[in-house]
Amino acid sequence: MKLVECVPNFSEGRDLEKIQAITKEIESTPGIKLLDVDPGESTNRTVVTFIGEPEAVKEAAFKAIKKAAEVIDMRFHKGAHSRIGATDVCPFVPVTGVTMADCVRLAHELAKKVAEELNIPVYLYEEAAQKPERRNLATIREGEYEGLPEKLKDHDWAPDYGKPVFNPQAGATVIGAREFLIAYNINLNTKDRRLAHEIALNLRERGRAKRDKKGKIIRDESGKAIMVPGKFKAVKAVGWYIEDYDIAQISINFTNYKISPPHLVFDEAIKEAEKLGLRVTGSELVGLIPKEALLMAGRYYLEKQGKSPGQPEEELIDVAIKSLGLNDVAPFDPQKKIIEYQFQEFDDPLIKKDVRNFVNKVSMDTPTPGGGSVAALSGALATALAAMVSNLTVGKKGYEKVQKTMKKTAQQAQDLKEFFLRAVDLDTASFDQVMEAFRLPRKTEEQKAAREKAIQEATREATRVPLLVMEKGLEALKLIRVVAENGNKNSISDAAVAALAALTAVEGAYYNVLINLPGITDQQFRTSVRRKAGQIKRRSAQLQQASLKIVNRHLL
């Protein structure tokens, strides 16, 4: 699943009718989920958050920017927050299955469309910036809307997209790509804001002002305070007192959790608190968090306990919640706080059913779920067994030399298991798309052409899905061989079952590839796919036999 977050800020926070007109454009876009609408009266600004697949997010952002340009007139806008246009800023944020480069591409494509179709000058910022001085949003905003006419006359401030012509109603828009912003608070057993801030100064990237022996701030030749950097990059932090909880907190913004993840900052905050005679009682997440940030934390704390980090997603998240004390001041519900869980890729997912219901559904007189979904489920079971044997090896006497290998294998097997579970629904969804294409009207020549195009595209996708299952099945068989060779010998029969189930996944998917190929008119595509599928099938069979040979050597 490919998910992108978009967080546009609109220069209207008081007129709910206008705000709703904008958000309606977002909600009406297929494949989009609106997560939050946060209007501010004093700032006269609304922050909107939504997620979806990349192209859908780009389309929703454009529609919202267009509507904002129609209902907001910047000539009459006043508010406490700095701003440059009706849609002040619109960042794309990679969530899952996409890279920062993908989001930069989206930013450029949206900027071009906004400039050409709406005649709004566009600047690019953060990761999408084309000039170093434009990375910082505050720099682009200098002079705000009122200073924009003169700014556009300056050659150095020509927009990245569009003509340097002032749009009096819409102003300009800043579009970009950035990492996910995590708002996070660490709770202390004190009400003293100053103590919380003292810890914050040591944690945050900016650090604190350097002082001499008398405690006076040391300044450079221009009179600017010389700063002593803190311990973590991409971290902003302050200390404050929260009346609702009657405690002091270290309030933190993580601008790139991949550089400085919350769990490392949390553990360091514990050390800093102890120096001041304080205790960290837990933490609080404000808003949403990417799933990977919690998975990283779960693996980290399991490693500290000397356990295998190759556990199921749900277990890793549970470990992270307990270790970070995320239930300290309010209940933490992963289904509400993890951003990926806000977007359901499939209606009534098969993998959410219990075993009996799934098997019953397969047995009914409907074509889906069918062999492709069963093949994918076989892959999930195979990799689950591979993870199990790996985890049963970690920490066991006599297997000290393979601990690192087994931990890595367990984690890789869990990742593959997650893919196969998704593929159970993906295979069914792709076949349903083929059926929908065949049901399209064909009364006119134009309809016939559109129908045939839809059938071809859907059939290609229905072929690619089982081919991908084959590729992942091959990866699984490579892992299973490692497990059979190095894993706990008391569980070697489970490695054998894993090898058998993995080849079932590969060969089951192989026949699903073959059955779709005749419906594809592109001969080159058919030949290429058939050749690749055959190669994977043969190599997979060899790997399975290699694993079974190892098993038989120990059991027979």
427 is catalytic: yes
Report in angstroms the alpha-carbon separations of 489 from 77, 249, 396, 397, 398.
Answer: 72, 50, 11, 12, 11
* Pair type for strands 173-177 and 122-126: parallel
**Tokens describing residue 29:** 């876009």
Closest residue by Cα to residue 178 from 117, 112, 259: 259
Cβ-proximal residues to 485 (8 Å cutoff; 6+ apart), any chain: 550
Angle at alpha carbon of residue 136, lines to 132 and 139, rounded to 5°: 100
As a whole number of angstroms, the distance between CA 238 and CA 250 comes to: 6
DSSP for residue 289:
B
Closest residue by Cα to residue 62 from 210, 173, 201: 173
DSSP string, 475-516: HHHHHHHHHHHHS-GGGHHHHHHHHHHHHHHHHHHHHHHHHH
* Euclidean distance between the first and the last CA atom of the chain, given in angstroms as a whole number: 44
3-state secondary structure of 10: strand
As a whole number of angstroms, the distance between CA 543 and CA 382 comes to: 14
* 184 and 97 Cβ atoms separated by less than 8 Å: no
* 70 and 144 Cβ atoms separated by less than 8 Å: no
3-state secondary structure of 293: helix
Alpha helices (H) in 38-99, listed in sequence order: 54-71
108 is catalytic: no
Report in angstroms the alpha-carbon separations of 505 from 368, 411, 467.
Answer: 17, 20, 11
Report in angstroms the alpha-carbon separations of 110 from 29, 61, 152.
Answer: 16, 8, 20
* 342 and 35 Cβ atoms separated by less than 8 Å: yes
Report in angstroms the alpha-carbon separations of 68 from 63, 79, 365.
Answer: 9, 16, 50
Name the packing angle between helices 193-203 and 262-275 (round to 10°).
130
As a whole number of angstroms, the distance between CA 419 and CA 327 comes to: 30
Q: Which residue of the set 81, 102, 192, 328 is catalytic? A: 81
Query: Across-strand partners of 93?
Result: 5
Percent helix / strand / coil, the chain, rounded to 5: 55, 15, 30
Query: Across-strand partners of 219?
Result: 225
Length of the chain: 556
Q: Which residue of the set 88, 160, 425, 427 is catalytic? A: 427
Q: Which residues are tagged catalytic?
A: 81, 427
